A and B are shown apart, each in its own frame.
Chain A
Amino acid sequence: MTCTWPFSGRAVNGRHKNWNGSGANGARPDFFCVGAQKGGTTWLFWQLDSHPDFWMPPVKELHYFEKLSRTNRVRPPRRRDERDVRFLENMKSLSARPAIDLEDYGQLFQPKGPLLSGDVTPAYSMLDDEIIRQITSYFPNLKVIFLARDPVERAWSQLSMEVRRGWISSFDVSDIGDVDRNLLHPRVLLRSHPSKIVARWKRYVHPDRFRIYFFDDLERNPIELRHRILDFLGADPDKPSKRVPPDYNADAGQRKLCLTDKVRARLARFFEHELKACAAELGGPAKEWPARYGFSLLMYFWDLLDDGLDLFFWCDWIC
């Protein structure tokens, strides 16, 4: 028995030899952080960017696989040295092309030299199976990180940010109908289901190379979380990140929308199924999420058990 994984195409086993071989010796990202938006990805970027074992790209979010990097940036990119300039030029020419070019995307990371580097783009949480599979089969050694956050808090934080930046118009934050409508905005809805995001990536990334971390741990003990992530990425956790303390929060002091109890309860109901799915499928701190909103997990497990029995009938239908 070889140590393979469902859809083992991601391993270099000849299936994609033609376009795998070409990139094999070239540069490539060592890791992706695929979300969640508002789950601490900026914190992560700053920790890595100032760590001596990393060379991080001059922009935090490359947005290549969902938009071919055709995004409007909130901040101008870093232009510290020749490497930054080269990276930005290459990225510009890459995004002028109509299709994904995995080889040239990998080449973007050439300036990193022997250091570690990666792409921290929370929007990759919305990528579909088809693209995830292409990425993971082209970069079989890629590590993937997901920072999970309670969907209620995450969605509220996203709404706060979007109102602040003027991406969505201000709404009555105490009106349940208004809040509902904003949750059903595709941009919000698609980022709000950590259990599905994790399931999609887990289908293609080997368990050794995939890790979920929790925003709860970032709040409780950022030093320890930083330590675990650095360790997983193959860096030395004991080296400090220059200029940036482990509990640095770039968003601190930003204006947030006020969350009333009534709206909070409504959000919880909207995400009830997802909260339970997270508890069951992500484990860790997510196990406590449903109880925050007064939901019990018992019924959920009973339903799952019930569904498991039904799977026998499912087989009939496939044939």
Chain B
Amino acid sequence: MRWTWPFKSRNGNHRNGHHRNGHNGNGHHANGNNGNGDDLNGFIGDAHPDFLCVGAQKAGTTWLYRQLEPHPDFWMPPVKELHYLDNLNRTKRSHPPRSNDERDACFVASIKDLSMRSHIDFDRYGRLFSHKGHLLSGDISPAYSTLSDEVIERVVDHFPNSKVIFLARDPVERAWSQLSMGVRLGVINKFDATNPEEVVCNLLIPGVLARSHPSKIVARWKRYVRPENFRLYFFDDLEENPADLRRSILGFLGGDPEKPSGRLKPHLNNDAGQKKLRLTAKVRDRMAQFFKHELKACAAELGGRAKSWPARYGFSLVLYVWDLLDDSIDLFFWCDWIC
């Protein structure tokens, strides 16, 4: 038995091997590596992101970028969110890109060129990262949490050794934080933040809804990324002990956790002092009700800190686990139907 994973096309064994052949005229591609973890040979001389951080929006991804950018083991792209895989980088930026040196200018020019094309070009996207040299680099685009299976499969297939990180946050708090930001930036119309039904209306904005189900996002990525390449972290840990969280993420990415991130302290919060909407108890209850199923799914499927999320809102997990058990018994009947 090999160490493989469902839908293992992503680790470049023969199944999809040929289609990669056709894409790159340069003859560089994963040569049937089995994903032992040490076989980066398929990409020698060929740039690719070492990692992707795929969300969640409002769960500490900016904190992560700020920690990695000045760290001596990393060269991070001059823009935090590349948004390439979700909309070919055709986004309006709220900040101008960093322009410290030639590498930054080069990166910005290449990604501009890339976003003029109508299709996803994985090889060129990978080559954006050639400026990193021997340092670590990655793409922190929380919008990748909304990518669907079809795209994730191709991404992982092209970059079988890229690590994937997801920062999970309690869906009630996360959604509220997104609504606050949306109103602040003017992308969501002002609404009565004390009216539970109006709030629920805003939770049903497609851009909010699609980012509010960490259990589903994680399930999508886990279907394709090898377990040793995927890690889930919790916003709860960022609040309680950012130094620890920083250490474990750096350790996973292969950076040295002991080296400081310039003069930056691990607890820096870019958004501190930003205006937030006030969350009343009534609205909080209504949101919890809206996310009840998801809160329980997170506790059961993400584990870790998510196990305590349902209890915050007075939900018990016993019934949920019972339902799941019940459902798995039904799976026997499901089989009849497939045939």
Contacts and interface: CB of A to CB of B under 8 A. Distances in A.
Contact of B150 (A130, A190, A283, A303): A190
Given A6-B327, A196-B153, A266-B22, 11 more contacts: A18-B289, A98-B189, A128-B146, A128-B216, A130-B212, A133-B216, A176-B22, A180-B22, A181-B118, A184-B120, A185-B120
Interface in A283-319: 283, 299-300, 303-304, 306-307, 309-311, 314, 317-319
19 contacts: A2-B326, A4-B327, A98-B188, A98-B205, A128-B210, A131-B206, A168-B118, A181-B118, A182-B119, A184-B122, A189-B120, A196-B148, A196-B150, A196-B153, A269-B18, A303-B8, A306-B4, A307-B5, A307-B8
Contact of B120 (A98, A186, A299, A309): A186
A184 B301 CA distance: 32
Interface in B297-329: 297, 301, 303, 323-324, 326-327, 329
B165 to A, nearest CB: 15
B154 interface: yes
B268 interface: no
A184 B1 contact: no
A1 interface: yes
B204 A273 contact: no
Contacts of B334: 207
A72 B191 CA distance: 29
Interface of B: 1-9, 15-16, 18-19, 22-23, 88, 117-122, 146, 148-151, 153-154, 188-189, 200-206, 208-210, 212-213, 216, 219-220, 227, 286, 289, 292-293, 297, 301, 303, 323-324, 326-327, 329-330, 333-334, 337-339
3 shortest interchain CB distances as A-B pairs: A184-B119, A99-B204, A207-B337
Interface string A6-18: 1111000001001
A272 B19 contact: yes
Contacts of A181: 117-119, 121
Contacts of B6: 304, 307, 310-311
Nearest to A266: B22
A19 interface: yes
B206 to A, nearest CB: 7
Interface of A: 1-9, 15, 18-19, 66, 68, 98-102, 126, 128-131, 133-134, 168, 176, 180-186, 189-190, 192-193, 196, 199-200, 207, 266, 269-270, 272-273, 281, 283, 299-300, 303-304, 306-307, 309-311, 314, 317-319
Contacts of A19: 200
Given A130-B209, A273-B16, A189 B150 contact: yes
Nearest to B152: A196
A200 B225 CA distance: 18
Contact of B3 (A2, A133, A176, A310): A310
B213 A101 contact: no
A184 B121 contact: yes
B201 A303 contact: no
Task: Give the interface centre of A15, A100, A102, A186 by most chain B CB atoms within 10 Å.
Answer: A186
